Chains A and B, each alone.
Chain A
């Protein structure tokens, strides 16, 4: 009883395969243009891939390789909620929500009854007689959610549902989504790590039309493998070959750290691809190489300085360091400065790629 999906689209260089369990919520994340929304559009039946197939609980949504089936959007039984609520401007809030049940063949009275139920679920009952033009952005998105839920979809597709909301409305919708997503199958495209943490069981990271990383939310954020996931988690991540308590990077630099416990690193595996991760706050910045062990020292050139909370984030190519404003001034850091980033081995977590 799962969703199985694979689709390839040459025009957008997309090639993705995905499985979603019956009550699972998967967050699809990745840089702009990674093909996240295309995945949802293919699933909804609004974009046709060159090849692929999708099966929802044993029911085929499309099958494009040998035999060709392509269910039209109205026969797929999916709910879609996009960034733009897209409420039908000529229908009242109640009739917007009743539109789905009515299209499924329910009578006028019964579908309005269903609409009232779902408006109640999202706390928008008092808006039922208004027109969409009379709603705020947050209200409209709540109504759009009720409208998507009113068809009782087997799979809910959420495409950056909070992106257009201001900071005051997003938390309300997020907690609402958390409530309605429990026990439902959903795919949520989002840029916010908070959405992924609170709403999703699993994260799938896409880049350039492909899935570059996937795993449970906690694993992906604790041990990111892709550059994008590393930036989401706010970690410095280095790639190389694992060798006991150290990682040999491609440029010959050896990084020492402690092997991670989850997932367990098999003992004495020489030559396995691995990662080293450490938070920017564990990095100290020096003008001359310090002595003392066991420490990792990286000679870098500062590229950017930017405020980050109550610290200054010093960026140097792939690495970042968070240091105090006073320390930044004392070191007279500016873009172009040659400095040494120093990390204690105990702060570095090593894990296989």
Chain B
């Protein structure tokens, strides 16, 4: 929130010289790496037909896809927070047998191809799936619905939040929590008034990562939820479809997705300074 930050004097903004042990050639290799990411983005932006941009992204199917993407990504990010915070707490704080195995399994969606994740969901919640058959008896059908989109996105995005928050929790340590307990605070009070406020920066950046991952989800969604306009066809699916029929619209929509993602990622870098880090920086005299 730069608008709220007090204006810093120019002298303070300029970083003073300090020794860095980075050899010069590293900068050259790093530049190649950065270009590898930036060049394709520029390549795509160069193909955007700016004259028809608004018309291209405001077709009925495009708007429906954009709206669905934002809705489902928001819903799955909420689910990631609801389940990810307890998961991260258990992994970071509790001690139990099988903790390492559990952590490895929970992080699996990071390395498994999303299509495989979609299949796993299908064989669990699909019509013929492990739980799907029982759910069908109850009149609940998940596969190929908007709920399925949210589930697919949550499946792939949850590890991002858990990983980010668990790291923050470990760094924060338990000293403040112990002090709060000796002051008479029950565990739930400690969680609400001490733990969560202290790890808020990690929670925010984890949630933003989860949102970005949800927004870009393609493979698991297509496999588990299909591609039904307005119901399960999110922006990435719409882009893939348009690529066949209307490449110019696909490029315009891709740019839109990149723009949304760029805004979201930039927000993570504007996360207010952690109160913990502010403390470590030492008392201001």
Contacts and interface: CB of A to CB of B under 8 A. Distances in A.
B185 interface: yes
B187 to A, nearest CB: 8
A73 B278 contact: no
Nearest to B198: A90
A103 B283 contact: no
Given A45-B181, A74-B184, A103-B180, 13 more contacts: A72-B187, A73-B181, A73-B182, A74-B182, A74-B183, A89-B276, A90-B197, A133-B278, A133-B281, A133-B282, A133-B284, A147-B183, A151-B184
Given A74-B182, A89-B198, A103 B189 contact: yes
8 contacts: A46-B181, A79-B182, A88-B179, A89-B279, A104-B184, A133-B278, A133-B279, A151-B183
Contact of A86 (B176, B187, B197): B176
A45 B181 CA distance: 9
B178 interface: yes
Contacts of B189: 103
A134 B278 CA distance: 10
A73 B177 CA distance: 11
A99 interface: yes
A44 interface: yes
A44 B182 contact: yes
Nearest to B181: A73
Contacts of B182: 44-46, 73-74, 76, 78-80
B281 to A, nearest CB: 7
Interface in A37-67: 44-46
| B interface majority secondary structure | helix
Given A80-B182, A136-B285, A151-B183, A99 B193 contact: yes
A86 B179 contact: yes
B167 interface: no
Given A89-B275, A133-B279, A99 B180 contact: yes
B194 interface: yes
A77 B281 CA distance: 33
A137 interface: yes
Contacts of A100: 183-185
Interface in A1-58: 44-46
B11 to A, nearest CB: 21
A86 B175 contact: yes
Contacts, number: 80
A331 interface: no
Interface in B160-216: 175-176, 178-187, 189-190, 193-194, 197-198
A45 B180 CA distance: 12
A278 B10 CA distance: 66
Interface centre among B175, B178, B189, B197 (most CB of A within 10 A): B178
Nearest to B182: A80
A140 interface: yes
A74 B181 contact: yes
A103 B279 contact: no
A66 B137 CA distance: 52
A132 interface: yes
A140 B184 contact: no
B186 A80 contact: no
B278 A88 contact: no
A103 B184 contact: yes
B186 A103 contact: yes
A194 interface: no
Interface in B26-53: none
A148 B180 CA distance: 10
A313 to B, nearest CB: 37
Contacts of A45: 181-182
Interface string A126-161: 000001111111001000000110010000000000
Given A74-B186, A86-B175, A99-B193, A140 B283 contact: yes
Nearest to B197: A90
B279 to A, nearest CB: 4
Given A86-B176, A88-B180, A137 B283 contact: yes
